[in-house]
Amino acid sequence: MPPPFRDERLSSWLERIADVYLVSLDELQAHIGCVRPALQLEFEPVQADMERIAVATNRSAERLFAMTFRGASPRYRSLLRPSSREICPACSRGMQRPQRLRGWSFAFAFWCDRHREPLFGGEMSGVSALGDEASGRRGAEILLQWAMEREIAAIPVGSVLSLLLLPSRKLSPPAPWELAYLPLPRQHDPSVLSRPCRRPVLSVVVPEFRAAVPTSDPRLSSTIADVPNAPRAERYALAIGVARVLKNPVGTIIRVLEASDEFGRKKVMDLIEGWPAAIRHAVGRAAPCTRQRGNAGRAVTGARLSHQRVRALS
Ligand SMILES: [Zn+2]
């Protein structure tokens, strides 16, 4: 029987044991007498099942509980991807079935801690268009600390994530330059041309995102709860975005406000109401378009927007 790896998930280890006996995971669990499937046991371990596995594998039940997500903070649990199959090629060299570690199921886990190499698996499309590994690593670490409810930033990390997921503009069909990232046949597909697109603030903070995930394609919704279901490129772009916002909150917000329409600007301004006053005041001083009353503010908004339009067309 193969020993479990450090931080290995219970379902991963049981799968590897099942391989040794040439049975499926379900068959192994039925043989042991488990009531709950392994994937569910990881989230809600049942004492009786854990004890049966402990007896069958000659391990302590405590050791097995440590292979589940019991005791993890609710926020961390809400950001897990239970069926993720990411692996580290260096960790699993020569193994027929690579192990899956607990930490790799987190929505913002992109590297193996031990080898510092990228995890592979699932949907990798678009990931290579996103560089900036330094920001990606910093953002992923900030998000991990936040998920474990160890807040380290002055601005609430959850609100930075929400900011990145906000629409920067009203839904509208893709502009010609946005279609340029699509394969040629799809650029002329009438259903693509007419479909209204979401343009999250993320694509302003991380412009590379537009090349990684064409404007007509993102699957990100506007809620944090859906993030674990988003493809790797979208989750990775969020980590980069979190790092960039926290590094320069005022400059980033100003850029976002300039790129947004009235609809998006209102949403952004409402969200940053809860941010430290010093940041809000600096934004207000630098971006007169945030002052919604008065003709001067409107005039500046108009000037900025037409400037933006000219740049977008050129
Ligand atoms: Zn590794």
Q: What is the pLDDT of residues 171-189, one digit of tens each?
A: 888 887 777 777 788 778 8
- Give me the residues paired with residue 200 across strands: 167
Measured in Å, residue 101 CA sits from the centre of ligand 1 at 10
Q: Is the pLDDT of residue 139 over 60?
A: yes
Report if residue 314 sits inside a domain.
no
Domain that holds residue 87: 10-101
Does residue 65 share a domain with residue 131? no
Q: Is the pLDDT of residue 296 over 60?
A: no
Contact 72, 42 (CB under 8 A): no
Measured in Å, residue 95 CA sits from the centre of ligand 1 at 13
Measured in Å, residue 157 CA sits from the centre of ligand 1 at 28
Does residue 23 share a domain with residue 76? yes
Does residue 137 share a domain with residue 188? yes
Backbone angles phi and psi of 103, in degrees to 5? -60, -25
Does residue 220 share a domain with residue 94? no
Does residue 89 share a domain with residue 225? no
Confidence of residue 301 (pLDDT cuts 50, 70, 90): very low
Report if residue 23 sits inside a domain.
yes
Measured in Å, residue 114 CA sits from the centre of ligand 1 at 5
Measured in Å, residue 91 CA sits from the centre of ligand 1 at 4
Measured in Å, residue 92 CA sits from the centre of ligand 1 at 7
Residue type (1 letter), 311: R
Measured in Å, residue 26 CA sits from the centre of ligand 1 at 28
Measured in Å, residue 112 CA sits from the centre of ligand 1 at 5
Measured in Å, residue 116 CA sits from the centre of ligand 1 at 7
Does residue 154 share a domain with residue 44? no
Q: Count structural domains, the chain.
A: 2
The angle that helices 295-313 and 249-259 make with each other, rounded to 10 degrees, is 80
Give the separation between CA 115 and CA 224, rounded to whole angstroms: 29
Measured in Å, residue 113 CA sits from the centre of ligand 1 at 7
Does residue 259 share a domain with residue 206? yes
Measured in Å, residue 223 CA sits from the centre of ligand 1 at 31
Residue type (1 letter), 305: L
Tell me what pLDDT residue 59 has.
Answer: 96
Measured in Å, residue 12 CA sits from the centre of ligand 1 at 15
Report if residue 58 sits inside a domain.
yes
Report if residue 303 sits inside a domain.
no
Measured in Å, residue 109 CA sits from the centre of ligand 1 at 12
Number of H helices, E strands in the chain: 18, 0
Does residue 271 share a domain with residue 165? yes
Burial call 234-263: b when 16+ CB within 10 Å, e when fewer = bbbbbbbbbbbbbeebbebbbbbbbbbbee
Give the separation between CA 32 and CA 218, rounded to whole angstroms: 43
Does residue 159 share a domain with residue 88? no
Measured in Å, residue 122 CA sits from the centre of ligand 1 at 17
Measured in Å, residue 88 CA sits from the centre of ligand 1 at 5
Does residue 144 share a domain with residue 97? no
Report if residue 290 sits inside a domain.
no
Confidence of residue 294 (pLDDT cuts 50, 70, 90): very low
Backbone angles phi and psi of 106, in degrees to 5? -70, 140
The two structure tokens encoding residue 37: 């499937």
Query: 155: which DSSP letter?
Result: S
Measured in Å, residue 138 CA sits from the centre of ligand 1 at 19
Measured in Å, residue 270 CA sits from the centre of ligand 1 at 42
The two structure tokens encoding residue 83: 């069926």
Confidence of residue 312 (pLDDT cuts 50, 70, 90): very low
Measured in Å, residue 119 CA sits from the centre of ligand 1 at 8
Q: What is the pLDDT of residues 98-111, one digit of tens each?
A: 999 999 999 999 99
Report if residue 94 sits inside a domain.
yes
Give the separation between CA 270 and CA 25, rounded to whole angstroms: 49
Measured in Å, residue 296 CA sits from the centre of ligand 1 at 57
Measured in Å, residue 232 CA sits from the centre of ligand 1 at 18
Does residue 137 share a domain with residue 20? no
Q: What is the pLDDT of residues 36-46, one digit of tens each?
A: 999 999 999 99
Report if residue 312 sits inside a domain.
no
Tell me what pLDDT residue 300 has.
Answer: 42
Give the separation between CA 142 and CA 147, rounded to whole angstroms: 9
Share of the chain above pLDDT 90, in %: 68
Which residues surround the ion ligand 1 when the cut-off is CB under 5 Å? 88, 90-91, 112, 114-115
Does residue 54 share a domain with residue 175? no
Report if residue 92 sits inside a domain.
yes
